[in-house]
Structure 1
Amino acid sequence: MALLTLDYKSEVLSMSMTLKLLYPEKALYATEVEDIPVLYLLHGMSGDVDTWMRRTSIERYVKDTNLALVFLDTHDGWYSNTHSGYRYFDAFTQEVPELLANLFPKLSRKRSKTFVAGLSMGGYGALKLALLTNRFSYAASLSGALDFQDLEPLVDDFRGLTYWRGVFGDQIFAKNQPGDLVTWLDQADRKTKLFAWCGEQDFLFPANQRAQVLLEEAGFELTFTSSPGKHEWYYWDQQIQEVLKWLPIDYQEEERLS
């Protein structure tokens, strides 16, 4: 795999941004390789564009696939258009796909070959980006922060109320505020296939159980699993392998790691 770093000026965010692309090396040289499927990987709170590469063996897991990976950085902006004026949602659903298509024309622009996954805050982001657009056919959440009810008692430990209001506004913990999963469902496309996992000892496990019920009642095709585990990279490194098995990607069977 080739690891490419792209530093660019985001017109949407009005600031310099960095994304990283893990690109199949075969596609660098073989003219017949095209329409490469793409997985956007989203980090959690306090993470950045490098976190997935540093904390998991993701490069090894995809080395014998035809998949390209895109790593984004939301600066703890929850992949949202924040109340403080940073339009991360617009940047990642409009600007970044066009940027990648222009620079890397072999990357697929088809919804059927475009996927998104994330952990914790990134799990929230993965579902938000997928359900509020028609860009992603598969979306996966690992230990996703899918319900803010469980976060209110932890505000002081997670940056304080000023930070949360800067992202979501004054009604952050009000029921059915615009950042809630439940408020997206009326406009969400049921064609998107969903995957969610959460550890049973994770403080976000109750939120994931509530989200499971909500999504299934709303008619989404959801693969929901749980197992013993905490809010830790040890488990996310395991579960991203399950996400890759779930995605419709191709492997070079003769080279695939056992």
Structure 2
Amino acid sequence: MAHLKVNYFSNALLKDCQMDVLLPQKTSDTPNWNKEVLNDLPVIYLMHGMSDDNTAWLRKTRLERLIKSTPVAVILPNADLSWYSDTSYGMNYYDDIAVELPKVIQQFFPQISTKREKNFLVGTSMGGYGAYKIALSTNNFSYAASLSGAFNPRGTNKILDSFRSQAYWNGVINKRDDFANSPDNLKHLVEQKMALHEQFPNFYAWCGKQDFLYDDNLDFVNFLKQRNIPITDKFTNGKHDWYYWDKFLEDVLEWLPISYLPEERLC
């Protein structure tokens, strides 16, 4: 894989931003990768969590090694502490990542597919929430996976709420005092999509039973199932930790509709 660090100007944020990009590169280990394979590439937008940045997945998981034999592009944007939202203080991170970034990717990397069936979102914690939020509020992504997704930022999860001040939460979560109608409420986005008779993406959710977000994950997964929305869910022992996210990253790669080729393991 080729690893590119990209600085670009965001019109949504009116500032310079950063992202990491992984692109498949033909080498002696991938002799069958021809021009046809390396054009119209499927792409994974890999979203980071609340305490991380765009480098976290590269530093804390086996990501690059796992996909070294798979023709797929990976985009790792930086969402800061935004909850992938257009905040009340004027920083439009949702517009930056959900709307503008795919256009920037198309401009810089025309070999990456713009087809819905080849565009995917994956995230952990805040990034899992962001992956679902963008998948539900646009029609550009066909698969969305979450690992320990922070699906419920309305203020009832006391551990999550304790991480930052109320001033912060009121700034990043719109209409937090009227969360039922908030554009940042995943259940509200589901109901809107159902009312518009739009196609839902395929969802994947993993969360550990010892994770402080377990109850929120179970609640949202059941919410989707009750509405016959496709979701693959796995709840195992585990905590809110990179050990588990790294472990289940490979499960996500096997679930996505890509030509994932696992590394050879003799033991």
TM-score per shorter chain, which class? over 0.9
Aligned-residue RMSD, C-alpha:
1.9
3-state DSSP of counterpart to 1:81? coil
Provide the C-alpha distance between the structure 2 equivalents of 1:204 and 1:153, rounded to a whole number of angstroms.
Answer: 10
Matches within 5 A, 1:109-188: 109-148=114-153, 151-154=156-159, 157-169=162-174, 171-172=175-176, 174-178=178-182, 179-188=184-193
Q: Retained in 2: the 8 A contact 1:148–1:173? A: no
User: Does the CA contact (< 8 Å) of 1:150 and 1:207 recur in 2?
Assistant: no
Cα separation, partners in 2 of 1:109 and 1:155, compared to 1, 3 Å: closer
Query: In structure 1, what residue type is equivalent to 2:221?
Result: Q
> Where do residues 2-17 of structure 1 align in structure 2 (5 Å cutoff)?
2-17=2-17
Cα distance change, pair 223–152 in 1 and its aligned pair in 2 (3 A): closer
Residue 248 and residue 103 in structure 1: after superposition, are their counterparts in 2 closer, same or farther (change >3 A)?
same
Which segment drifts farther, 38-47 or 84-93? 84-93
1: CA distance, partners of 2:154 / 2:90: 24
Structure 2 spans left out of the alignment, 5+ residues: 28-32
Which whole-Å deviations, capped at 9, do the CAs of 1:189-233 have from their partners, x for residues lacking one? 443100001000000000011001111112210001110000000
- TM-superposed CA distance for 1:87, in Å, is 1.1
Q: 1:234 aligns with which of 213, 225, 243?
A: 243
1:198 aligns to 2:198 (yes or no): no
- Does 1:97 find its partner at 2:102? yes
Alignment partners' CA distance in 2, 1:191 and 1:176 = 20
The answer to whether residue 261 in structure 2 is matched with residue 257 in structure 1 is no
Equivalent pair of 1:229/1:235 in contact (CA under 8 Å): yes
TM-score by length of 1: 0.93
2:136/2:190 contact within 8 Å kept:
yes
Instruction: Give the 3 Å change call, closer, same or farther, for CA 118–252 of structure 1 in structure 2.
Output: closer
TM-score scaled by length of structure 2: 0.90
Give the structure 2 partner of residue 81 of structure 1: 86
Matched with 2:20 is 20
Q: Structure 1 residue 176: deviation in Å? A: 1.3
- Answer whether contact 1:155 1:161 (CA < 8 A) is retained: no
**How has the CA–CA distance of structure 1 residues 251 and 185 changed in structure 2, closer, same or farther, with 3 Å as cutoff?**
closer
Residues 170-190 of structure 1 deviation map (CA, whole Å, 9 limit, x = unaligned): x42655141221110123344
Secondary structure, aligned partner of 1:102? helix
Matched ranges for 1:12-91 at <5 A = 12-26=12-26, 30-32=34-36, 33-91=38-96
